[in-house]
Amino acid sequence: MKRSILQTDEHSCFLCERNGNGDPLEKHHAFGASNRWKSEEDGLFVYLCGCRCHRDGPFSAHQNADTARYLHEIAQEAWEREYGSREGFLARYGKNYLTAP
């Protein structure tokens, strides 16, 4: 299995740093839906507290646009550092999540 290029510690929440005790950690792919397999293949995923930070909390990745935007931006930055250019990212994922060229 591919390791995350965004997170080195798989035993704590990427956002709040809790250890998952009482709210087990879940894998969150930076780019989901039709791009989920690409996120998996490229290591663009993090571990989040399942309820609090992943799915249901007010600042969770699936409920809060600012949190989702933050994860998209850092994932694109990491992809560009690891694999290549902005143009390569656009060709692979179809969208630029960063404002600066």
Residue 33 domain flag:
yes
Residue 20 domain flag:
no
pLDDT score, position 62: 97
Residue 101 domain flag:
no
Whole-number Å distance between alpha carbons of 51 and 44: 20
- Mean pLDDT of all residues belonging to the chain: 96
**Quick one: CA dihedral 49, 20, 32, 15, positive or negative?**
positive
Does residue 101 surpass a pLDDT of 60?
no
Q: Could you tell me how far CA 82 lies from the centroid of its own chain?
A: 15
Query: Do residues 29 and 45 make contact, with C-beta atoms less than 8 angstroms apart?
Result: yes
Q: Which domain holds residue 38?
A: 25-93
**How many domains is the chain built from?**
1
Q: What is the pTM of this model?
A: 0.93
Residue 16 domain flag:
no
pLDDT category of residue 2 using cuts at 50, 70 and 90: confident
Coil/strand/helix, residue 32 = coil
Residue 29 domain flag:
yes
pLDDT score, position 99: 80
Whole-number Å distance between alpha carbons of 68 and 66: 5
